[in-house]
Structure formats: structure tokens, C-alpha cells
Amino acid sequence: MKLSMAAPAGTGPARTGGTLMELVRFGIIGTAAIAVEKVIPSMLSAEGLEVVAIASRDLDKARAAATRFGIERSYGSYDDILADPEIEAVYIPLPNHLHVHWAIRAAEAGKHVLCEKPLALDVKELERLIDCRNRTGRRIQEAVMIRAHPQWDEILDIVASGEIGEVRAVQGVFTEINLDPKSIVNDASIGGGALYDLGVYPIAAARMVFGAEPERVFATSDFDPVFGIDRLTSAVLLFSGGRQATLVVSTQLALRHNVEIFGTRKSISLSNPFNPSPDDHCRIVVDSGSKLAAAAAETRLVAPADQYRLQAERFSAAIRSGSPSPIELEWSLGTMKVLNAIQRSAECGNWETV
């Protein structure tokens, strides 16, 4: 059993070129569940940054969150937090349809932007963000936190080594049950649905493993008769050379997070590729297929890591060092092209060019 260790807790990019960095001062725009349950606690433990303010359209909510986390300032409007001259960067966990508007407002106010996925709802919106970045010189990054987790570094190293042979297929499944009528995921008018909420991750997995963009997609969706959102979407992504990726995402199926990578010599199986606990090892199962029922499989462990913390640290380090952003907008544009092609295919029932 191989143990691949991630960075130990308490370490991070606190220095650049041997010089202690000045902390990047963050403001949080919104009090969404992902922010208060996952991202803010991780950012508070991160190195190279500090969270100094939080805003909500409801000042009481902002004050409650500030008190809970010991954040210095609270604001009752998003404009107020953008007007704070001490804030250098913002994290945006707002509903999907508000991402582009507030990312642009923040960048125009001189703030760097880390924004939840999906960064936009369509290609034209994302191109507006690219124009805004180029015009303002501010960083705008999509918060695809799996890109920061060491288990994906390990997976890509295995693929690149040739150990599993030529990768010909990738399968990704991300399903969960969310029947809450108040959930933004169940509101089609603001960018809800399984594809927007969950589809980014298996699409990212396939693009990372193949190191390429799909050429065509074929998809089908089932829509909830009450919410109007896609509650189940399945798709085939066709890459050059006949390579294929398949995905299943749903907001109304039993919880399942899984990625399978199939090479000509071996396969890789990941049981928690998208949302691993920061306290548990990640398990990468490499199977030669020489025996049935995975009897010949080898489990390799990746040490526990907080992907939300690592995401914030790397984004902050890039701001301070002037190095490229960990996820550039052009990469997010590739994701959006795939998402929109899947939507078109599901609507018309034909293969669609990405």
C-alpha cells in the first residue's frame, strides 16, 4: 500500500521567494450554506490571507455570521463591502445567476474575485468576465476546489506515468437527494438543476485526465415537474481519437460520488473524488483486472487535505506573487462550452459540437 502525503496541516504558501507575504484581506459576499459550512472555516485556518468582512442583504445575517466566525466587519449590502478600501479580494457564494454581475462589480471596484461554480450560465456571460479581467487587471477565478486537492495531483501523475496504459474512457457519477423547495438548486429561474450544480465536477475530471477538450457531446435530461430543474442528466463526451467520458448527475438520486478511469493496462477507481473529508485519507484503487471482483486491486492512500483551504491559499499566493491564477478563466470557458453543449443536446436529442 502506497502512502502519498499531502501538505501537513499548518503549512501553506505563507512565503514567496523566502519573504513573508502580507496577508491578502478577503471579504465574503453572501452567507450561503457553502460559505458558512465549508469555505469560511477553511479560509480562517488558511495561511497567506485573512477574512476581514462579510456582507449580506440582511444585516442581521451578516452580523450573526461575523460573530460566529470572529470576523471583524459586517455589512448589510454587497455594495458596502465593495466600497471597503482595505478589502483586496472577495469570495462570492451567491446563487448562480448573480455570479457574473457581482464578479464584474467587484473587479471594477478593484477587488480580486474567487467565485463559486458555475462561474456563469452561458458562454457569452463568461466571455464578459474575460473582458472584465483584461480591462481591470483583477484576477477572477472559479472555485473548482477539486483542482487544489492532492488526490488529483496523484491521479494525474499515475496517468502521466503510463502505468495504466492509454486512457480511453472516464466515467463520473455525482448524485444526491435535494427535495427542499427553498433550495436555490431547485429554482430553475436562477440557474438551478443538477447539471449546473454538480456537472462541473465530472466534466472537470474528464478534461483533466485527458488533458484535452471534448469535441462533441450527446445528452439527455429528465426535468422535475414541480421545480422545472433537470433532476437527472446523463451525457457522453467524445474526445479526439475515439476517447469517451460519460457522466451522470442528479439531485434526486441516492448519494454517490465516483470516478472510474479506464486505461489499456489498468483502471483507477475513486470513491470520493469531489468532496472528500479534510480529516480522512483519500483512496485511489488501481486495478490490473487480472482477477475478478477487484481481487488484484491495490489501494493507494493520499493524506488528508482541506481542498477549500488549499484553494484559498493558492489563489492568495498568486495574487501576492503575480504568478498565474491556479484556474484561469479560459479553463472555465472550456467547462461552460461543454455545459451549454450538453444542454443543447438534451433539448434537441442530437450530438452537439462543443
> Is residue 61 flagged as an active site residue?
no
Q: Which grid cell is 33?
A: 450554506
Let me know how many helices (H) and strands (E) the chain has, helices first: 11, 18
pTM of the complete model beyond 0.85: yes
d(CA 25, CA 229): 37
Q: E strand or H helix at 102, and its extent?
A: helix 99-108
Q: Quick one: average pLDDT of 100-111?
A: 98
What are the distances in angstroms from CA 247 to CA 197, 200, 270, 299? 13, 10, 14, 24
The model's pLDDT over 223-271, given as tens digits with 9 standing for 90+, comes to 999 999 999 999 999 999 999 999 999 999 999 999 999 999 999 999 8
Q: What is the pLDDT of residues 108-139, one digit of tens each?
A: 999 999 999 999 999 999 999 999 999 999 99
Q: Distance (Å, rounded) from C-alpha 308 to C-alpha 312?
A: 6
284 and 259 in contact (C-beta within 8 Å)? no
At 254 the three-state DSSP class reads strand
- Centroid of chain to Cα 43: 16
Domains, the chain, ordered by start? 3-144 (3.40.50.720), 150-304+335-353 (3.30.360.10)
Give me the DSSP letters along 38-55.
IIHHHHHT-SSEEEEEEE
Tracing cell 481519437 back to the chain, one arrives at 241
Annotated catalytic residue within 111, 117, 266, 337: 117
Instruction: Identify whether the C-beta of residue 54 lies closer than 8 Å to the C-beta of residue 65.
Output: yes
Mean pLDDT of the chain: 94
Res 292: pLDDT: 81
